[in-house]
Amino acid sequence: MIGFEEIRKLSHKSVSRIVLLVLDGLGGLPHPETGRTELESARKPNLDRVARESICGLTDQVSPGITPGSAPGHLAIFGYDPVKYSVGRGIIAALGIDLKLGPGDIAARGNFCTVGGDGTITDRRAGRISTETNAELCQLLNENIVVSGAELRATPVKEHRFVLLLRGEGLSAELADSDPQQVGLAPKRIEALSTSARRTAAIANEFLSEARTLLQGRIPANMVLLRGFSQHPDIPSIPDIYKLNPAAIAIYPMYRGLARLLGMRLLPAGEDITQQLETLHRHYEEYDFFFIHHKSTDSRGEDGDFEAKVHAIEEVDDALPQLLNVNPDVLLITGDHSTPATLASHSWHPVPFMLRGKWCRPDPVTEFSERACISGGLGRFPAVDIMTLAMANALKLDKFGA
């Protein structure tokens, strides 16, 4: 198997540019009435035009049948075996809001939530409270909670989300979540997953207990949930592996965080795909790899709103000419996983993929869809091969062996 060690030796700088557009949760399933998936239902002349000029395929991010989280889904696209390289949810959340993390620091993703009189969760997102309310509540927690053995700090993200940072000597991230991931259950006590994590578990549980007291009565945000305790992983960077000078144009904190972790520069992304593509134009000469992340395809899929997901795809198609007119040497359009609106969640279904470039050996595919990509020249392939294919098509890889 080719690994980073070989890629590092084979890759070299060149003038060509790679643009990767990720439509989060792109893949879908047929609508029960029409038999057509979200992609097949969308009016998307520009995506179809790119498909005709591309080599197409379907990717498995982790392995057939495995539903990827957002981090593994993206790690695979960037060439990182998502089983080998795991990045905790807490770390990604922390990086996304620019928290500086020391080597021993532990981050957890937090939610303000609503619990009923019996202590069970009635809303895991506390009715998506405003970011302002969130900031006030974080301040309340920070000013009132003191736990011996660690410095704790909650930092607000968007709406109901926050990051809890734990700093101190000898802490361990081997902790289970307090978030049971469903309503009707009570928040769990945090369990140590190893004996060396027992003290940290006690610290986290003390935080939860004090938070419950402080938030009492502040409905809808009367409790917190914690998950994804993690430390900064030891992970090679994209500039190191691929000799690229990469930039990310992502709006959502988590994807910005992941991009930063992998060594990308974060560019101002604005508020929608049109503004993201303006950024691409403005900075096109400065980088040789661009990661553009579009979130709403996934969000509308998660909402279970088929029509809205179709619309989110059409929104990208409408903006696409603005991307095509920079004429990237290599253009990749794909997703990080499927989020079929009929399932209203991430899924294991392989993800449509297309790569356009001067040397791409186009195939007979004339449409960008799950069904059409089955007949693509790339076939069904592991997403971890995407970056190598991109590098090859950009003529940035030397020959392997004599």
**Coil/strand/helix, residue 110:** strand
Residue 160 lies near its own copies (rule: CB under 8 A): no
The minimum distance between CB 2 and its own copies, in angstroms, equals: 4
The minimum distance between CB 222 and its own copies, in angstroms, equals: 25
Of 269 and 373, CB closest to its own copies = 373
Question: What is 300-359 written as a DSSP string?
Answer: HHHTT-HHHHHHHHHHHHHHHHHHHTT--SEEEEE-SSB--TTTTS-B-S-EEEEEEETT
Q: Which stretch binds its own copies (CB under 8 A): 120-128, 277-285, 321-329, 366-374?
A: 366-374
- Listed in sequence order, the residues at least 6 apart from 159 whose beta carbon sits closer than 8 Å to its beta carbon are 125, 128, 129, 130, 131, 134
Length of the chain: 402
Among 108, 330, 351, 397, binds its own copies (CB under 8 A): 397
**Coil/strand/helix, residue 239:** helix
Q: Are strands 330-334 and 289-294 parallel, antiparallel or unpaired?
A: unpaired
Residue 295 lies near its own copies (rule: CB under 8 A): no
Residue 146 lies near its own copies (rule: CB under 8 A): no
φ, ψ of residue 27 to 5 degrees: the values are -65, 150
Question: In Å, how far are 15, 126, 158, 177, 298 from 110, measured between CA atoms?
Answer: 43, 12, 11, 10, 21
The minimum distance between CB 245 and its own copies, in angstroms, equals: 20
Nearest-angstrom CA–CA distance, 109 and 58: 32
Residue 369 lies near its own copies (rule: CB under 8 A): no
Among 34, 209, 327, 359, binds its own copies (CB under 8 A): 359
Residue 226 lies near its own copies (rule: CB under 8 A): no
φ, ψ of residue 60 to 5 degrees: the values are -105, 125
Among 102, 117, 217, 401, binds its own copies (CB under 8 A): 401
Asked if residue 188 lies in contact with residue 176, where contact means CB atoms within 8 angstroms, the answer is: yes
The minimum distance between CB 139 and its own copies, in angstroms, equals: 26
Of 67 and 245, CB closest to its own copies = 67
Residue 248 lies near its own copies (rule: CB under 8 A): no
Among 13, 34, 45, 63, binds its own copies (CB under 8 A): 63
Among 6, 191, 210, 318, binds its own copies (CB under 8 A): 6
Q: Which spans of this chain sit near its own copies (rule: CB under 8 A)?
A: 1-2, 6, 10, 29-30, 37, 58, 62-72, 81-83, 86-89, 92, 109, 228, 340, 342-343, 345-350, 359, 361-364, 370-371, 374-381, 385, 387-393, 397-402
